[in-house]
């Protein structure tokens, strides 16, 4: 009986080890290829929203989109190493202390663009208990893609895999759906409108424009103007 239990635990250990190695290899591979499918995309199909996506490379995404994403979602993205610890502390304690490295706001949430990319590509969405189960692997994938992908690749994948409307994934599909043009040709306002829906793309409609998107867009555009002169931001989005 004892030998049988040890054998079972060895098998479980091997499965965990193989899964761990496979996840690392897949993460590194996604540095060079587009993710074939994500759990969120599969969920959209199951829920009846379909799957509209068209992966596009970095140079086919408007500078306005990259700037809007940083302005709205993670204003310290060029500087941090995957986590914005002061924003996390603020979200946990309601307060923050000390001075930031740079005098610019953080963005809309403690979750950085790197964390959102890790969650969207390798894990799942949702709250409840699943959210807490997800935190540990999300942290691991966040650090791994920071180490192996680099900022431009993280942003490139982020803008191609996030949901921007029911069943609409990535900036190219969103640009075609809402404005009948390519992602490369989106104006500042159009880019800000699409990014404004990200807190809840199933609820906050870009076209027709929901109240949230209508109210959020001017704020994002102001932040874009504030940020575009920052050397780190300029170097990243060019």
pTM here? 0.86
The per-residue pLDDT for 104 is 44
Closest CA to 108 of 133, 71, 79, 143: 71
Looking at residue 197, its pLDDT comes to 97
Burial code (b: 16+ CB inside 10 Å, e: under 16) for 193-226 equals bbbbbbeebeebbbeebbeebeebbeebbebbee
In this prediction, residue 105 carries a pLDDT of 43
Output the six-digit token pair for 187.
């104006």
For the domain with range 2-27+49-237, which CATH number is right: 3.40.50.300, 1.10.10.10, 1.10.10.60, 1.10.3810.10? 1.10.3810.10
pLDDT given at position 96: 41
Regions in the chain scoring below 50 on pLDDT? 95-108
Among 141, 171, 146, 199, CA closest to 66: 171
Specify the pLDDT at position 99.
Answer: 41
Which residue in the block uniquely carries the two structure tokens 């993670």?
A: 74
Q: What is the pLDDT of residue 147?
A: 94
- Model pLDDT, residue 13: 76
How confident is the model over 48-78, as pLDDT tens digits? 999 999 999 999 999 999 999 999 999 999 9
> What would the DSSP string read from start to end of 9-77?
HHHHHHHHHHHHHHHHHHHHHTTTS--S--HHHHHHHHTT---EE----GGGS-HHHHHHHHHHH-TTT
């Amino acid at each position: 009986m004892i030998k049988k239990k040890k054998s079972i635990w060895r098998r479980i250990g091997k499965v965990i080890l193989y899964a761990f190695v496979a996840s690392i290899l897949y993460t590194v591979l996604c540095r060079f290829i587009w993710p074939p499918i994500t759990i969120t995309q599969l969920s959209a199909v199951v829920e009846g929203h379909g799957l509209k996506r068209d992966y596009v490379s970095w140079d086919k995404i408007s500078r306005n989109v990259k700037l809007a994403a940083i302005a709205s979602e993670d204003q310290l993205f060029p500087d941090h190493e995957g986590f914005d610890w002061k924003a996390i502390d603020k979200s946990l304690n309601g307060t923050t202390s000390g001075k930031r490295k740079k005098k610019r706001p953080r963005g809309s949430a403690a979750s950085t663009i790197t964390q959102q990319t890790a969650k969207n590509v390798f894990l799942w969405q949702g709250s409840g208990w699943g959210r807490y189960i997800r935190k540990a692997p999300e942290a691991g994938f966040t650090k791994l893609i920071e180490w192996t992908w680099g900022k431009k690749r993280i942003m490139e994948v982020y803008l191609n895999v996030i949901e921007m409307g029911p069943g609409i994934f990535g900036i190219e599909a969103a640009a075609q759906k809402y404005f009948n043009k390519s992602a490369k040709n989106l104006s500042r306002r159009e880019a800000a409108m699409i990014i404004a829906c990200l807190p809840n793309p199933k609820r906050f409609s870009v076209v027709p424009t929901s109240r949230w998107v209508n109210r959020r867009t001017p704020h994002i555009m102001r932040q874009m103007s504030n940020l575009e002169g920052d050397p780190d931001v300029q170097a990243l989005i060019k």
